[in-house]
Amino acid sequence: MSAGHGHHHHERPASAVELRARALEALLAERGLVSTDAIDAVVELYENDIGPQNGAAVVGRAWVDDAYRERLLADGNSAIAELGFGGAEADNLVAVANTPTVHNLIVCTLCSCYPWPLLGLPPTWYKSPPYRARAVSEPRAVLREFGVELGAEVEIRVWDSSAEVRYLVVPMRPEGTEGMSETELAALVTRDCMVGTALPRL
Amino acid sequence: MSAGHGHHHHERPASAVELRARALEALLAERGLVSTDAIDAVVELYENDIGPQNGAAVVGRAWVDDAYRERLLADGNSAIAELGFGGAEADNLVAVANTPTVHNLIVCTLCSCYPWPLLGLPPTWYKSPPYRARAVSEPRAVLREFGVELGAEVEIRVWDSSAEVRYLVVPMRPEGTEGMSETELAALVTRDCMVGTALPRL
Amino acid sequence: MRRVDGVHDMGGMHGFGPVVETGGELPYREPWEPRVFAIQMLISAEGLGAGPGGRATREEMDPAHYLAASYYERWLYSAEQRLLRRGTIAPGDVEAMVVRLEAGETMPPHADAAMAERILDELRTAHPMGPAPAQGAFSPGQRVRVRRMHPQGHTRCPRYVRGAVGVVEAVRGVDRLPDRATYGEKIQPEPVYSVSFSSEELWGAGQEPAFTVLLDLWASYMEPA
Amino acid sequence: MRRVDGVHDMGGMHGFGPVVETGGELPYREPWEPRVFAIQMLISAEGLGAGPGGRATREEMDPAHYLAASYYERWLYSAEQRLLRRGTIAPGDVEAMVVRLEAGETMPPHADAAMAERILDELRTAHPMGPAPAQGAFSPGQRVRVRRMHPQGHTRCPRYVRGAVGVVEAVRGVDRLPDRATYGEKIQPEPVYSVSFSSEELWGAGQEPAFTVLLDLWASYMEPA
């Protein structure tokens, strides 16, 4: 699975930047400076092991276990470690809970900071100029694009990840989920719910 | 002299934007909406009739005629009209005088506003991001690029042309010019002297 | 697309590199450039365009395009947009003419001496602001704070002065607020003030000795400090 | 080029268009993109680069290039720059390899299982901030004003909060000020605070109901209000 080593066969010709990326990898591999399997390992880590399923497991637990929820909101790092999660870009995790009168939204206006160990690598929109520019100045217009309409009584709290703190939104448990298991509940929690651009739905 | 009418023969092929500009002119001419001679007239106006020689004449007069200088600093529009100057982009002219303790610098951070009737069309650097960004935040570093070093005792006043006022810097008359005529003096006054990025030299 | 707190608002931004570069002293480098300038002037003078003027139209450009484009490329963009908005040209017209020119077709000039006279008259005519009122919202010597605001369209209040405290130095006259007049709103003129700011107020203590920055600001942009 | 109040600082800027676009929900679209991400991680972990990290390096990109480039194209840029600065690669090396690849040369992979283990360990390890001090410069509930400043390099204080008044909500811990630590200065950690701002303070009254924006700000960025 190594780019730059002739394994890729695209229908279309490679772009200049793709060629350059493959050349950089090939160069570092040829000199023995970067190992192809280390690159593969990083890619596979975030494609297979680490992704929104981790964050969803945290939220699912918080929905069924009030004591866990309290620990999560009080000390994010310790609480996610209970479920085996943590690492780079969740060095200082703060979980923020939605309520009937508070909706939380996460952004990084300066960069693309994001809690990798819980959500994987961020979607393109999270890293793009429109979201970075608008989330802090017109959050309701942004939420509307995602199909989320909130009542005027809801205070929107936009968290700009300007330092080394990373945020996880704990959405409200939807009505009608009383009989569901922790696993079934976690399946309702999409990535966007934990960034604040979606609400969990049955 | 009409672009888009086959009169231009470049060594190099026309760029996409040049082609597009020529096409727009040809399109408007073919439909009789814009006349080629009107375009020629505007280009020639700013190439031949209107340019820094106008502003230099104003400064030359101010250097030899204290009463004119006073009128110029009090009411720019009327004073330049005395010499036959005025028009679009000098709708509200304000002349600002350099002194041993004040140096004036003109910029337009939002756009490229500039006193056309006195200085012609602005140089590329005046319209470019580096000048627009830096003149208001590090004027001494900018002046240094132009070879202008001012003592720490000099207050730099940077005029950002944010409204419909246009500015003309009246530089200090250099020493050693006592015997010179108004015309000789005007010849010392370069465009950049009247923007504030140069000082007149003998 | 009336949302233009954009990259054109450059005061204080970093990363653009040196001011002085080879060729930068010229107003333009290519013969087509002043012709696009002239066309934009004629579009306004002859009423061939519609919507906000060339300047506000250029501010609506995609930010990456705005920065990548040369100066007169932006003018070409605004000329085309204004013509399209009024229906003077239709989408595809310019592209079709490009094809014809590339095929070697030679287009005859169009002469109209009266139009040339009109535009020269217009360019030689000043349209000054109205006189300053005897009593305005602010007076010379007064301390003012620029409002922290987030205009949804064209504005002449750059970001770098918003929230800053300055001193009114002079009243320039009265003029319609561009934030609304640009979009054709019928509004009354209001006073415009020359306001000075210390560099330390704007940027904090810096590497250069303190200096002064002055802007001409409409009354609506400010409140008493 | 330590001057980065640049276009990366986007909070509140206009003109970028819609957030939701087809394909935008994916972390990447091309197989080379996560590989560039991995290479950047390995450059840091294996000490192959020099100078400011990937983030500060990307902020030094030419603004037009920054906006025109795709996300991982920026990462490729920073990876190359950091390798060049340390001399791990030389100018022209990448271009030469492009030529070899285009000529059809097939490059064998390089295996190093220990390196793969090291990077996985590193990515699974958190490096938390130091604990909050008993007594810091500010306390929860306190009103603070963000300094009006104009940093000459990397900063974590976005332009849109400078000069604004907010309220300290919590102390996050202590951390070294990025404005200096990024460039290798040996400095002591200082408290980092969660500070909330009303939208009206930041942007004035807007078209949306008032909302709250919260940032994590180092003590150096603020003064008592």
Would residue C119 count as lying in a domain? Answer: yes
Read off the pLDDT of residues D87-117 as tens digits, 9 standing for 90 and up.
999 999 999 999 999 999 998 999 999 999 9
Q: Above 80 in pLDDT, residue C160?
A: yes
In whole angstroms, what is the distance from residue D60 CA to residue D54 CA?
10
Considering only A104-108, A191-195, B54-58, D5-9, which range has the smallest mean pLDDT? D5-9
Read off the pLDDT of residues B59-107 as tens digits, 9 standing for 90 and up.
999 999 999 999 999 999 999 999 999 999 999 999 999 999 999 999 9
Out of C41, C55, C80, name the one closest to residue B42 (CB). C41
The stretch C22-29 carries a mean pLDDT of: 91
- The answer to whether D143 touches D224, Cβ cutoff 8 Å, is yes
Output the pLDDT for position A148: 97
- Contact residues on chain D for C159, CB-CB shorter than 8 A: 159
Read off the pLDDT of residues D186-201 as tens digits, 9 standing for 90 and up.
999 999 999 999 999 9
Would residue D18 count as lying in a domain? Answer: no
Output the pLDDT for position C23: 86
Do C110 and C147 fall into the same domain?
A: no
CATH at residue C196:
2.30.30.50
C28 in B contact zone (CB under 8 Å): yes
Total structural domains in chain D?
2
Would residue C128 count as lying in a domain? Answer: no
Say if the Cβ atoms of D3 and C12 lie within 8 Å. no
Residue B117: name the closest of B88, B137, B96 by CA: B88
pTM (2 decimals)?
0.91
Say if the Cβ atoms of C150 and D12 lie within 8 Å. yes
Output the pLDDT for position A13: 79
Output the pLDDT for position C17: 83
Q: Do chains B and A touch (3 or more CB pairs under 8 A)?
A: no
Helices A16-30 and D32-45, axial angle in degrees (round to 10) = 40
Identify the domain boundary among C58, C93, C123: C123
Output the pLDDT for position B13: 78
Do D45 and D97 fall into the same domain?
A: yes
Mean pLDDT of all residues belonging to chain B: 94
Q: Which domain holds residue D208?
A: 143-224
* CA C168-C171-C177 angle, 5° bins: 100
Helices of type H across B45-102 = 52-64, 66-74, 76-82
Mutate to test the interface with C, among B20, B73, B131 (most CBs of C within 10 A): B20
Output the pLDDT for position C207: 84
Output the pLDDT for position A1: 37
Output the pLDDT for position A136: 96
**How would residue D135 be classed by pLDDT, with cut points 50, 70 and 90?**
confident
Rounded to the nearest angstrom, the minimum Cα separation between C147 and chain D is 7
CATH at residue C77:
1.10.472.20
Q: Above 90 in pLDDT, residue A80?
A: yes
Would residue D211 count as lying in a domain? Answer: yes
Q: How much is the ipTM here?
A: 0.90
Residue D150: name the closest of D167, D137, D138, D163 by CA: D163
In whole angstroms, what is the distance from residue C118 CA to residue C193 CA?
33
Task: Name the strands in the sheet holding D190-198, side by side, starting at the edge strand that comes first in the sequence.
Answer: A102-107, A155-160, D212-218, D190-198, D165-175, D143-146, D222-224
Output the pLDDT for position C6: 67
In whole angstroms, what is the distance from residue B35 CA to residue C115 CA?
7
- Contact residues on chain B for C192, CB-CB shorter than 8 A: 163-165
Two tokens, residue A12: 């279309």
Output the pLDDT for position A9: 46
Do C185 and C108 fall into the same domain?
A: no
Q: Above 90 in pLDDT, residue A11?
A: no
Do C68 and C149 fall into the same domain?
A: no
Would residue C131 count as lying in a domain? Answer: no
Read off the pLDDT of residues A120-178 as tens digits, 9 standing for 90 and up.
999 999 999 999 999 999 999 999 999 999 999 999 999 999 999 999 999 999 999 99
Would residue D194 count as lying in a domain? Answer: yes
The stretch D202-215 carries a mean pLDDT of: 94
- Contact residues on chain D for C7, CB-CB shorter than 8 A: 7, 13, 15, 63, 67
Its sign, for the CA torsion B159, B161, B163, B169, is: positive
Q: Above 70 in pLDDT, residue D4?
A: no
User: What string of DSSP letters covers chain D?
Assistant: -----STT--TT------S--TTTTSS-SSTHHHHHHHHHHHHHHTT---SS-HHHHHHTS-HHHHHHS-HHHHHHHHHHHHHHHHTSS-TTHHHHHHHHHHTT--PPP---HHHHHHHHHHHT---PPBPPPSS-S--TT-EEEE-----SS--SS-GGGTT-EEEEEEEEEEE--HHHHTTT-----EEEEEEEEEHHHHH-S-SSPP-EEEEEEEGGGEEE-
Two tokens, residue D193: 């605070």
Do C167 and C199 fall into the same domain?
A: yes
Residues of A assigned a catalytic role: 108, 111-113
**How would residue C7 be classed by pLDDT, with cut points 50, 70 and 90?**
confident
Identify the domain boundary among C54, C88, C123: C123
In whole angstroms, what is the distance from residue C93 CA to residue C84 CA?
10
Residues of B assigned a catalytic role: 108, 111-113
- Matching residue, tokens 């929860």: D140
**How would residue C3 be classed by pLDDT, with cut points 50, 70 and 90?**
very low
- The answer to whether B103 touches B170, Cβ cutoff 8 Å, is no
Residue C138: name the closest of C67, C213, C220 by CA: C220
Q: Parallel, antiparallel, or unpaired: how do β-strands A165-170 and C190-198 relate? A: unpaired
A124, closest residue in chain D (CA to CA) = D24
Do D107 and D154 fall into the same domain?
A: no
Do D148 and D217 fall into the same domain?
A: yes
Its sign, for the CA torsion A135, A141, A145, A151, is: positive
Neighbour tally for A118: CB within 10 Å? 31
Output the pLDDT for position C8: 81
For chain D, the residue count is 225
Output the pLDDT for position C11: 84
In whole angstroms, what is the distance from residue A54 CA to residue C169 CA?
60
D61, closest residue in chain C (CA to CA) = C15
The stretch B117-143 carries a mean pLDDT of: 96
- Contact residues on chain A for D11, CB-CB shorter than 8 A: 109-110, 132-133, 136-137, 160
